[in-house]
Amino acid sequence: MKSRHLEILKGHNYGDLILETNHWFILLAPDQKNLGTCVVALKRKEGNLAGLKDKEWIDLKEIIKNLQSALRKAFNATMFNWGCLMNSSYRKDHPDPHVHWHFIPRYREKVEFEGVTFEDPCFGFSTMYSKDGVRRLPEYTRRKINEKIRENLEI
Amino acid sequence: MKSRHLEILKGHNYGDLILETNHWFILLAPDQKNLGTCVVALKRKEGNLAGLKDKEWIDLKEIIKNLQSALRKAFNATMFNWGCLMNSSYRKDHPDPHVHWHFIPRYREKVEFEGVTFEDPCFGFSTMYSKDGVRRLPEYTRRKINEKIRENLEI
């Protein structure tokens, strides 16, 4: 998949591209504590959520619908957290935020995929992330998760 | 302010009503660790973010723009976190989630309002909430914050 917009992802650590829509990249996040955690990143340079254009906002709504549906079908996710934070950019002296969303599937039950077990010990608690650091997976497993999400996305 | 939709807020602890738009309530959250923290709650019963109607989604975009602008003008907020979680509902045996957003203004500098000092010790860190429990304020201070936000909202 080639996109003239890929330049925008440089300097960010959003993960591996799964799919792109007209206005957003959908990426498999580096941290897979919660199986299928994604980042949804805008394809143009914009640092303020309030600066989104109507067509970008409408496109995002379709992504929410499709990504949630895909994760239910692929991994039986129970529910989902969405967050637009951009905090870490503000640690810099000259903040250069870029609008992106964290999409975190939450699981009531543990789930196995490609021989790997995923649990969600913070399920039901008022936090978007569990506190147990970053869970990185082997390249092979990441590719399989990526493919599984993509084949369930109706975009 | 009277609304035939207020019934929807019963059983939730979203805080005090600031304003309502066509489709959403804007409320001052109980926890004011971060000055001006709000909840934006849908005015009809819906437990799935993907179930929002287009007109509700468009209305939300206007709220994002206006609420961010209001908090900059009122308290000089630096940037903002938005999150749709609904985790706590899933602690129940029979989850009954209701679509609502957490709006958390973030502050690089400490800010004083009505003789009360607010700091944001987790500014720049990758978390939506700081971990220092809930900060409840006296009724008088809450009312003043509420008024200050409302007078800066161009809705």
Q: Which residues contact A60 (CB under 8 A, 6 or more apart)?
A: A23, A24, A40, A52, A101
Amino acid, single-letter form, for residue A102: H
What residue type is B68 in one-letter code?
A: Q
- What is the pLDDT at residue B5? 82
Domain B6-152 has CATH 3.30.428.10: yes
CA–CA–CA angle A133, A106, A57 (5° rounding):
100
Q: What is the pLDDT of residue A133?
A: 85
Helix (H, G, I), strand (E, B) or coil at B70: helix
The C-alpha atoms of residue B123 and residue B119 are separated, in whole angstroms, by 9
Q: Which residues of B73-112 are buried (b: 16+ CB within 10 A; e: fewer)?
A: ebbebbbbbbbbbbbebbeeeebebbbbbbbbbbbeeebe
ipTM of the complex: 0.95
Q: Say yes or no to pLDDT of B1 above 70.
A: no
Tokens 């919660």 found at: A34
pLDDT band at B104 (very low <50, low <70, confident <90, very high): very high
Per-residue confidence (pLDDT) for residue A132, from 0 to 100? 73
Indicate the residue type of A4. Answer: R
Question: Phi then psi for A68, rounded to 5 degrees?
Answer: -60, -45
Domain limits of chain A?
A: 6-152
Distance in angstroms (rounded) separating the CA atoms of residues B24 and B99? 10
Query: For B49, which DSSP code?
Result: G
Instruction: Test B126 with A65 for CB contact under 8 angstroms.
Output: no
In tens, the pLDDT along B34-58 reads 999 999 999 999 999 999 999 999 9
CA B25 to chain CA centroid, nearest Å: 9
More confident residue, B32 or B154: B32
Q: What are phi and psi of B110, to 5 degrees?
A: -70, 155
How much is the pLDDT for B2? 59
Asked whether the beta carbons of residue B81 and residue A83 sit closer than 8 angstroms, the reply is yes
For each successive 10 residues of chain A (155 residues), what is the average pLDDT?
79 95 98 97 97 98 98 98 94 92 96 97 81 90 98 91
Q: Retrieve residue B11's tokens.
A: 């059983």
In the chain, the amino acid numbered A22 is: N
In chain B, which residues touch A (CB < 8 A)? Answer: 48-50, 52, 54, 57-58, 61, 64-65, 68-69, 78-88, 90-91, 95, 97, 106, 108, 123-129
CA angle B82, B86, B89 (to 5 degrees): 160
